[in-house]
Amino acid sequence: MRWLFLLLLLVAAPAQAERRKVIIDDEGFALMHLMHLMLLEDPDIDVIGITTVSGNAWANRATAMVLKGLEIAHRTDVPVVQGATFPLLNSEALTDRWEALYGKLTWKGAWMKAWVEPTQQSTPPYFGPTDPVDLPGGNAKIKPSDEIAANFLIRMVHKYPGEVTILAAGPLTNLALAQRLDPAFAGLAKELVYMGGSLNPHRVLSDRSAADFAREYGNTPRREFNARFDPEAASIVSRSPWRKIIIVPVDPSTATQRSKALLARMAKVTIPDIAKFIKEMEPGFPLWDEIAAGVWLDPSIVTDRETVFVDYNTQFGPGYGDMLSWRASYQPGVGEQAAEVVRAVAPAKLEALMVRVMAAGAKRDAALSRAAAAP
Amino acid sequence: MRWLFLLLLLVAAPAQAERRKVIIDDEGFALMHLMHLMLLEDPDIDVIGITTVSGNAWANRATAMVLKGLEIAHRTDVPVVQGATFPLLNSEALTDRWEALYGKLTWKGAWMKAWVEPTQQSTPPYFGPTDPVDLPGGNAKIKPSDEIAANFLIRMVHKYPGEVTILAAGPLTNLALAQRLDPAFAGLAKELVYMGGSLNPHRVLSDRSAADFAREYGNTPRREFNARFDPEAASIVSRSPWRKIIIVPVDPSTATQRSKALLARMAKVTIPDIAKFIKEMEPGFPLWDEIAAGVWLDPSIVTDRETVFVDYNTQFGPGYGDMLSWRASYQPGVGEQAAEVVRAVAPAKLEALMVRVMAAGAKRDAALSRAAAAP
């Protein structure tokens, strides 16, 4: 029976060539991003690049943070490609006018100067789109690629047709540009997984942070920051011919939280350089992007999903950027695609997965070190 | 102590003059309407008129049904005043164009020709706005008032300043017209209670009818029929200077249902002529308007309420007619008013109230009969 065991082992063990390819398209927010780490640390995943975009922070700042994060994680092998600085039509000036007509937004990302109400979470410092970046603790030594994100995205799906998952966790500007640059783009990707949109989230957790974040959806169940920052891009991407779309809207996030306990569990199993940063992370945020990575790494964490046709409202009015969705036979049929929308996940399973991949990454690194040290 | 007891009794017993005045503004749907009955049968309530409007049915049809309902309920003393046939801007033709761009509506009221999907509830017959009305069982003998609803509404709030509650359960066209005819209108009413709008309802009941009705809000948590039928009217009314606004949106209705059991309980305690009709009512509908009447008759049935600023989206786009709401300090301040929005009610308490008022009405009628028969 020993041969059978060995054969099974051979089939089950993912060879280097079989690792699932993913490009992370994201706008960052801090030096280290748990979602990025989940994908970088999982030995079965091949992060073939990280593209940046403006959203929570301007693109140049997002790029600097990703570069620094990769240095800390010892993953300077991953190319970083900077993307769009500005949304297609939306802007900071238009957002000011919009708020005067339709009410204050809770979160405005790079355009955020202050919370409307006292808020538990810190307010990130405000910068202009071309302000020089000087990260606390110094910028990374590595540099981004000379390419532009949209071009990189197009090049990769042509190089690996049908193999590349695009995991987008910021505004969809880069993907919309790529699709209009090359109409074959979406169809050549394996799939699109994105964190964005909102169906009708309900508050699940009872602490102060959860209450604060509930302000974002309590009176606007269809509004979510990534889509609202660049509604036109979200609509273009929603009407593009992807082979498969998986959407993680706000809904499943209300049952999750980046708790001190979770951060401690992750810090305990990862390498010391990463652990140092994880320990210092601000707790209280829902797990948004981490759910998207988690759902892609292990679909069994999903407890409720639904297939609907999706688009976004691009009218400059009260519903600007709102998610639009239709059951089959109600959709208008103007290009909007069917998407699998994750309505709920099992938070404990997600947390266990997050800890598991961090441990797996540390184990891989140790093995690589041993291999490098071998005579 | 006997004098004190008598005094208390005198103070506590509502004299005829002290009954709470209400005008029902509604678009009807069937010969008898449980919400109307709740108010007509409660001996403490003075229904000073019923105004009609187009919505679920055209105004002429709504008027005919209300007249017939009053005859059945032996309440031909209540004036019926017909209101607006057409919404301010919206129309059947525009709705066809809208659906081509933005997807099919689940329910279109008077403009409904067929359900998009197979549906448990029956489809009401389709009529034109001026088609003659020929009710099954014959039209009522009594006639509506010669006045126009908006003028009647204005006249009543001037006659009884600060005393009249307006309970609106259809599109808000009449109220918007009244407000533009007379800017003092809203401020002279005691309060506005209306069934309309939607925050983000979640399905509570598990039967087929509840599943069917969930289609109306599952992908459009901010859309509700009354507001969607005349969005401009809903916005005008939301920006009018009412002393008080209580809104019953779709949200609390998902926990309620016009069940066979409830209809049987109501039929058992009411007068035979009403009972005959109640027994034949189609079950399965959520209790929408009945919650509005219930909340007004007995606020203790409310289990969750919130004060927010409210308006409606009047852009002819994907969110046309959607409810807009803001926590204080987020609202744009263009006239939108603070409103008490009912998020949840106790269904058992509501049902008990519905049965209680029917019994009280029957008891009142019996006492009146005895008084009339007395020598």
* Nearest CB to A319 within list B99, B218, B313: B313
**CA distances, B45 to each of B39, B42, B359 (Å):** 6, 6, 14
CB pairs under 8 A between A and B: 96
- Partners of B202 on chain A (C-beta within 8 Å) are 200, 202
pLDDT at residue number B205: 94
- CB proximity under 8 Å: B 94-153 to A: 99-104, 106, 116-117
Asked if the Cβ–Cβ distance from A322 to B318 is below 8 Å, we say yes
Residue B168 to residue B187: CA distance in whole angstroms: 16
Cross-strand partners of B51:
B25, B81
Residues 6+ positions from A290 with CB-CB distance below 8 Å: A34, A35, A38, A256, A258, A350, A354
Asked if the Cβ–Cβ distance from B317 to A315 is below 8 Å, we say yes
Residue A230 to residue A291: CA distance in whole angstroms: 21
- Kindly identify which residue of chain B lies nearest to residue A317, measuring between CA atoms: B315
Residues of chain A where predicted confidence (pLDDT) is lower than 50? 1-13
Is the pLDDT confidence value at B10 over 50?
A: no
pLDDT at residue number A231: 98
Asked if the Cβ–Cβ distance from B330 to A103 is below 8 Å, we say yes
Q: Which helix (H) or strand (E) holds A47?
A: strand A45-52
pLDDT at residue number B122: 84
B370, with CB counted inside 10 A (0-12, 13-18, 19+), is exposed
Give the type of residue at B183: P
- Does residue A1 belong to any structural domain of this protein? no
Question: Are the C-beta atoms of B240 and B332 separated by less than 8 Å?
Answer: no
Residue A145 to residue A147: CA distance in whole angstroms: 5
Residue B300 at interface with chain A, using a CB cutoff of 8 Å = no
* Nearest CB to A222 within list B222, B325, B330: B222
pLDDT at residue number B13: 47
**DSSP-derived secondary structure letter, A121:** S
Residue A335 at interface with chain B, using a CB cutoff of 8 Å = no
Asked if the Cβ–Cβ distance from A313 to B313 is below 8 Å, we say no
Residue B129: name the closest of B108, B111, B147, B113 by CA. Answer: B111
Is the pLDDT confidence value at B357 over 50?
A: yes
Candidates A99, A326, A330: best to mutate against B (most CBs of B within 10 A) is A330
- Does residue B66 belong to any structural domain of this protein? yes
Residues 6+ positions from B32 with CB-CB distance below 8 Å: B69, B72, B73, B274, B277, B278, B281
- Does residue A313 belong to any structural domain of this protein? yes
Nearest 10 degrees: Cα torsion B101, B103, B104, B109:
-70
Residue A304 at interface with chain B, using a CB cutoff of 8 Å = no
- CB proximity under 8 Å: B 168-227 to A: 199-202, 215, 218-219, 221-222
SS3 content of chain A, % helix, strand, coil (to 5): 45, 15, 40
Residue B318: name the closest of A97, A342, A238, A112 by CA. Answer: A238
> Where residue B2 falls among pLDDT bands split at 50, 70, 90?
very low
pTM for the whole structure: 0.93
CA B197 to chain centroid: 12
pLDDT digits (tens, 9 = 90+) for A21-39: 999 999 977 788 999 999 9
* Nearest CB to B332 within list A100, A202, A215: A100
pLDDT at residue number B16: 53
* Nearest CB to B324 within list A200, A311, A318: A318
Residues 6+ positions from B247 with CB-CB distance below 8 Å: B193, B194, B196, B197, B310, B339, B340, B341, B342
Residues 6+ positions from B312 with CB-CB distance below 8 Å: B197, B227, B231, B234, B235, B238, B321, B322, B323, B324
- Does residue B7 belong to any structural domain of this protein? no
- Does residue B55 belong to any structural domain of this protein? yes
- Does residue B15 belong to any structural domain of this protein? no
Residue B305 at interface with chain A, using a CB cutoff of 8 Å = no
**CA distances, A301 to each of A46, A180, A253, A347 (Å):** 21, 34, 13, 8
pLDDT at residue number A32: 83
> Where residue B17 falls among pLDDT bands split at 50, 70, 90?
low
CATH code, domain carrying A299: 3.90.245.10
Give the type of residue at A267: A
pLDDT at residue number A16: 53
Is the pLDDT confidence value at B117 over 80?
A: yes
Averaged pLDDT for residues B124-131 = 94
* Nearest CB to A318 within list B102, B313, B327: B313
**DSSP-derived secondary structure letter, A336:** P
- Does residue B91 belong to any structural domain of this protein? yes
- Kindly identify which residue of chain B lies nearest to residue A310, measuring between CA atoms: B219
* Nearest CB to A319 within list B199, B317, B332: B317
- Partners of B330 on chain A (C-beta within 8 Å) are 103-104, 106, 116, 219
HSE-up of B68 (CA within 13 Å, CB side)? 21
- Does residue B1 belong to any structural domain of this protein? no
Number of domains observed in the structure of chain A = 1
Q: Edge-to-edge strands of the sheet including B323-326?
A: B80-81, B45-52, B20-26, B164-168, B191-195, B245-248, B337-345, B302-312, B323-326
* Nearest CB to B319 within list A104, A219, A322: A322
Residue B87 to residue B232: CA distance in whole angstroms: 8
**CA distances, B327 to each of A284, B246, B291, B341 (Å):** 22, 16, 24, 12
- Kindly identify which residue of chain B lies nearest to residue A105, measuring between CA atoms: B330
Report the b/e string of B305-340 with b at 16+ CB within 10 A.
Answer: beebbbbbbbbbbbbbbbbbbbbeebbbeeebbebb
Q: How far is A67 from chain B (nearest CA, A)?
A: 37
Nearest 10 degrees: Cα torsion A113, A118, A123, A126:
10
> Which of B16-20, B68-72, B84-88 has the weakest average pLDDT?
B16-20
CB atoms near residue A304 (< 10 Å): 12
Domain that holds residue B30: 20-373
Is the pLDDT confidence value at B248 over 90?
A: yes
Asked if the Cβ–Cβ distance from B329 to A199 is below 8 Å, we say no
Asked if the Cβ–Cβ distance from B332 to A221 is below 8 Å, we say no
Is the pLDDT confidence value at B359 over 70?
A: yes
Residue B158 at interface with chain A, using a CB cutoff of 8 Å = no
Q: How far is B307 from chain A (nearest CA, A)?
A: 11
- Kindly identify which residue of chain B lies nearest to residue A117, measuring between CA atoms: B329
Is the pLDDT confidence value at B31 over 90?
A: no
Asked if the Cβ–Cβ distance from A317 to B322 is below 8 Å, we say no
Question: Are the C-beta atoms of A296 and A22 separated by less than 8 Å?
Answer: yes
pLDDT digits (tens, 9 = 90+) for B303-342: 999 999 999 999 999 999 999 999 999 999 999 999 999 9
> Where residue B121 falls among pLDDT bands split at 50, 70, 90?
confident
* Nearest CB to B219 within list A202, A317, A327: A327
Averaged pLDDT for residues B55-78 = 96
- Kindly identify which residue of chain A lies nearest to residue B100, measuring between CA atoms: A332
Residue % of chain B over a pLDDT of 90:
89
Residue B78: name the closest of B68, B70, B69 by CA. Answer: B70
